[in-house]
Amino acid sequence: MSTESSNKDLTLFLIRRELKTASFIRELSRLGFDPTAFSLDLDRAILLLAGFQDHDDDDLLNWYYRILEVYSEKLNIKDETALYELALEFYLELRIKLKDLQQKSMPRIILPGEM
């Protein structure tokens, strides 16, 4: 198995755990409990495994938490197949974001006649 495939599999596993935990934490909060002790803090590990070099960037983390909230709200904890599909969609969101960030950081080549 290639390293890239192993990273993807591990990332998907962590995303599934992250989605379940986020859903659990939201329910605990809704019931009036303090859920902070149940947080797994997998965000930076997931971002690093997905290819983000600057995984401590506040803007990136804020984006991550917004996406996590959206996807965890879609979660049906009793449907394992749906969880796998949701984790894959989440992973694809990460990859799209990574590609966008990489394209923005690439220097623009000015062609002759554009000056």
pLDDT in tens, 13-36: 999 999 999 988 888 888 888 877
Q: How far is CA 61 from the centre of its chain?
A: 9
Q: How far apart are CA 106 and CA 93, in angstroms?
A: 20
Q: Write out pLDDT tens, residues 41-90.
A: 899 999 999 999 887 889 999 999 999 999 999 988 888 899 999 999 99
DSSP string, 31-94: TT---GGG----HHHHHHHHT-S-TT-HHHHHHHHHHHHHHHHH--TT-HHHHHHHHHHHHHHH
How far, in Å, CA of 26 to CA of 95, rounded?
Answer: 26
Structure tokens at 84: 């796998």
